[in-house]
Structure 1
């Protein structure tokens, strides 16, 4: 009876958070041993926590310093900068977490419980995505909040993560059968490869067929920018083509304009920093006099069609997660991960430089999926070697602390909620805040450089500060779980 009660508690803990990976007992013997060890806490996969923390830190870095250092910001269109690895790294991590977090609930008699947890977690991610990136929150720069529902942005980072998580979690739940439970690690690897090939191929075919076969007609948009002399002016973009991957006439943007509505797309796409739009490229700057009108148009980088392609990043992560579960040898795991990582990178780069399919984060192209997922696999493999084999975990504690409280740091630091709160306390002018004073007097003036000052401010006053806060919360066992 006690074993059954303990097993139930462990099942609930394992499914609590797709990012909090725990090794749950799967047999009565394991449950009995674990019961004797209570109240010890369940074991986490430290390498994945560290990788998650690094990814959150990268997001804070590129958001905070990307304006001054465009080399780390998003590529204006084709290409791949540091910022372009953040989203696929998140999706890879989510995918890798799913088989570990749901491996108990995967059993047939627990499918209903697993589905409920997955759906509820997806709804929470969608909710926070709309609040933080839909336009309601104006932190940290504006001391206001609220959004005109005619212009709310429906898509965003958390919304894309929610969709990918929902798909791969359902794939994990419903692809598991009672017979498959008895398979050896090698057998599991074969089954998993078949599942990934089938579902991955389906998503890829849907994406590529839609991208290259959809007819994109001419389209118009009205500029909504009170700071522009063209505010309220209607512009017409001439297309009438199929299979184009340029900014104004691709199927990704066309589908989003038709389904979501042009007023609900992202108003500051990276393409506005391209050479045809501004002389300041890759920095932001005033538009060229001969800039094409699409430079003023919105575009959704986390839109519908590109989100279908992004699911592939999570599916590859699922595969890496199953390798971690079913292959027990360090050498076997690393051989599989590293070979697959290099193969994906080679394929992605080959497609890009042969001009078959360019690397493009905005379109979430197939070459981009391969390159970034391969890079994610290699980065995780490196952390696995350093942490799980060489036992150098202490060197990466700041990243591990962030990774264990990733949602808190994402909201407070990456989305600027904490800085927005501090900016609410100002002296005489809203521009005279503690954040502004620290950035100007402790970092920029000391180094006599805005670029260096902003970079160091982001590293020390944001990333390191929140790593220490997350470390304290970890000691107190306080976590924000989704």
Structure 2
């Protein structure tokens, strides 16, 4: 099990200048509350889109190209992980020890990722557990975070300058100091692009392994024989995952099933059309190998923002750097998408998607930094801060449905006499859609509030379960 204990090393800190009577700058250490709040907001956002995305497709994952609210969750997490790395590794005096800690934390994330998304815990309302190793899902959200964290943290440790020194407040100073990180990022983009656009994707076969599908057990053939395509059936990312992972180890209900080509209910979920293309029945891994390589860039960008936080000692210098870079990333990503050069696509984790989501993360974090760490308006955001301090706890219990499964496991006489079944029967069935959505949002709000209180109590006792 992942480690749960009082952890004083968890405190992210910044150094802010303060002028005393002799006009000398004294460095005041205090916690970067805005980073915890941003992390907590991202976890709460995950709970919202997971629970309400089915009713509001506009906030759920985009079926293919495009970027909805849910599509910001993963890159926000990666950005935050990247920002936290230089704060945790501000000085590296014992590299072997630091490397061991990074590897151990990576293994913990992989363990929880496989347990939660590998198929062991099937669903809270079914209360079935165990996984057929022939169909276990190897990839997932925590696995992607683990990979990005491992690569970026090791890079930071191996090239870290042990001296904590200030840099000039010009825009390019931090880029110059950590130029090797950006060379590595360029290599990652190059490798990703060469594979995505240069790899020939042959025809492929599959058998539907989703027990809930009407076509379960049927076999299909998908004709490709092309390279450089970014459409659902013939992209290189899917081909790499089918070849390396095996098609039976991929996600069986991808978002593309909500495309107009696949269902008349689009953009909602619905039964597949009778004349739907064969690939509509196929699995696809949204956290696959090639897209996870590209996702490392989101963490490197977050790492850069963490470097700016450490080396720039004034609020204005930090904000100028963050906001200007965020706007540039946003503009670049939008231009790439609008000109159809590189479409926004979360499932392929395209470069335009990296730019738009990282730029948005930069601006959202900057807003919290102004409100909380400069203007000291932290009180309204305390629930998010508490959740951010125990992000892994809320992710496992709320977003992954473990707590809901536990609650639903208790019944009286009839297995249908559970809390979840009662809510569905008395609140959702036989009422208008608008009222159902209202009740759903109320339940989601109550759930987020509940976990913020739990996290706040744990914070009171100095107990943290980090993501």
TM-score by length of 1: 0.88
SS at match of 1:361: coil
User: Structure 1 residues 75 and 338 mapped into 2: Cα distance closer, same or farther (>3 Å)?
Assistant: same
1:171 aligns with 2:155: yes
Q: Is the 8 A contact 1:152 1:264 kept in 2?
A: yes
| Alignment equivalent of 1:453, drawn from 439, 458, 462 | 439
Unaligned runs of 5+ in 1: 1-11, 25-36
Number of paired residues?
446
Correspondence for 2:62 = 75
Write out the 4+ residue segments of structure 1 that deviate beyond 6 Å after TM superposition: 442-448
User: Structure 1 residues 234 and 364 mapped into 2: Cα distance closer, same or farther (>3 Å)?
Assistant: same
| Alignment equivalent of 2:167, drawn from 177, 184, 187 | 184
Whole-Å separation in 1 of the counterparts to 2:214 and 2:189: 43
Whole-Å separation in 2 of the counterparts to 1:182 and 1:421: 50
Whole-Å separation in 1 of the counterparts to 2:414 and 2:134: 31
Pairing 1:418-433 to 2, within 5 Å after superposition: 418-433=403-418
Q: Is the 8 A contact 2:46 2:70 kept in 1?
A: yes
Correspondence for 1:384 = 369
SS at match of 1:220: strand
User: Structure 1 residues 227 and 438 mapped into 2: Cα distance closer, same or farther (>3 Å)?
Assistant: closer
> If each structure's strand is expressed as a fraction of its own residues, which one has the higher value?
2
| Alignment equivalent of 1:93, drawn from 74, 77, 80 | 80
User: Structure 1 residues 211 and 152 mapped into 2: Cα distance closer, same or farther (>3 Å)?
Assistant: same
SS at match of 2:95: helix
Correspondence for 2:18 = none
Pairing 1:142-291 to 2, within 5 Å after superposition: 142-178=126-162, 181-182=164-165, 184=167, 189-291=174-276
How far does the alpha carbon of each residue in 1:303-352 deviate from its partner, in whole angstroms, 9 at most, with x for none? 00000000000000000001111101111000000000000000000000
Whole-Å separation in 1 of the counterparts to 2:305 and 2:324: 12
How far does the alpha carbon of each residue in 1:158-213 deviate from its partner, in whole angstroms, 9 at most, with x for none? 000000000110111111235x6556355961434513320110100000011000
How far does the alpha carbon of each residue in 1:378-430 deviate from its partner, in whole angstroms, 9 at most, with x for none? 00000000001111100101101100110000000000101100110023443
User: Structure 1 residues 217 and 451 mapped into 2: Cα distance closer, same or farther (>3 Å)?
Assistant: same
| Alignment equivalent of 2:307, drawn from 322, 329, 334 | 322
Q: Is the 8 A contact 1:139 1:415 kept in 2?
A: no
Deviation (angstroms), 1:223:
1.1
Deviation (angstroms), 1:228:
4.0
Q: Is the 8 A contact 1:439 1:453 kept in 2?
A: no
> What do you get for the CA RMSD once the two structures are aligned?
2.1
Deviation (angstroms), 1:229:
4.4
Deviates more, 1:376-385 or 1:168-177: 168-177
> If each structure's helix is expressed as a fraction of its own residues, which one has the higher value?
1
Deviation (angstroms), 1:296:
0.5
| Alignment equivalent of 1:299, drawn from 284, 287, 304 | 284
SS at match of 1:147: coil
Correspondence for 2:4 = none
Deviates more, 1:428-437 or 1:240-249: 428-437
Whole-Å separation in 1 of the counterparts to 2:463 and 2:249: 36
Deviation (angstroms), 1:475:
1.6
Pairing 1:97-116 to 2, within 5 Å after superposition: 97-104=84-91, 106-107=92-93, 110-116=94-100
| Alignment equivalent of 1:128, drawn from 91, 103, 112 | 112
Q: Is the 8 A contact 1:443 1:457 kept in 2?
A: no
Pairing 1:392-471 to 2, within 5 Å after superposition: 392-438=377-423, 441=426, 449-460=435-446, 462-471=447-456
SS at match of 1:138: strand
Correspondence for 1:333 = 318
Q: Is the 8 A contact 1:192 1:319 kept in 2?
A: no
Unaligned runs of 5+ in 2: 1-6, 16-27
